Structure 1
């Protein structure tokens, strides 16, 4: 990847709906050249997909929580979380805690229902999210960054 690919990735992460003409102008290439570069980035697996970012509050998911689990049944907890509609992400981690679950739900009552339903799989420790920031653009490492 060169600096133009990096610029393309940054622009697509900021706005996946950007027109090819506008993107080409931004990176100072022709539209066909940009389309070809994007196709190669997709084939290489650098670009995995294009997604809509949704506003959780407008979807009535006003309670966000991070739940740490000391799991007694990792596979069952993972299956439970993957099937649960409130779970946004589930991470298996090394250390004293075996899973970290990020969820967004409707109310404190539905959070309590999730915790109660997850209890057979391990011991939860619940942390309510008060505020958060999320990096919107991931920049690739330059070759000299890795030395």
Structure 2
């Protein structure tokens, strides 16, 4: 079970996974060895599964981002297309009316349309453009 200190550590690491143990310890009012031990326990328990770099899709010339819902009759073929396509960022298998939710980030409306044209042979799609996004921590710090 996570206590408030663990939750605060996770929130801080979500915002900056490169923070030093000393700085993290200062923020949660623990010693660096104590905070390092907590982080290791969170890693060993599988709560922290890894650390990653957040890339700017705009800076990578991929300013058009959309979610596409697919009601497909050939799940495996759509999945194969999605995982091989360089513009697909995420691919989620769903229960319900739609089989997949695909997040795509691409160079233009033209390249988005090209992906949809490739995928449409596997079923119906519903495209939802992203105007902006906000990420929030799972355990927000109350100050």
TM-score relative to the length of structure 1: 0.88
- C-alpha distance in 2, partners of 1:66/1:7? 31
Misfit runs of 4+, over 4 Å: none
Give the match's secondary structure for 1:42. helix
Q: Please state how far the C-alpha of 1:51 moved relative to its aligned partner.
A: 1.1
Aligned to 1:40: 41
Q: Please state how far the C-alpha of 1:130 moved relative to its aligned partner.
A: 2.1
Pairwise CA RMSD: 1.4
Deviations 1:63-91 (A, max 9, x none): 11111111011122112111211111112
- C-alpha distance in 1, partners of 2:41/2:132? 37
Give the match's secondary structure for 1:58. coil
The total of aligned residue pairs comes to 139
Q: Does 1:75 align with 2:76?
A: yes
Unaligned 5+ runs, structure 2: none
Give the match's secondary structure for 2:103. strand
Aligned to 2:11: 10
- C-alpha distance in 2, partners of 1:76/1:86? 17
Aligned to 2:138: 138
Give the match's secondary structure for 1:69. strand
Give the match's secondary structure for 2:52. coil
Aligned to 2:127: 126
- C-alpha distance in 2, partners of 1:26/1:130? 34
Give the match's secondary structure for 1:112. helix
- C-alpha distance in 2, partners of 1:132/1:6? 23
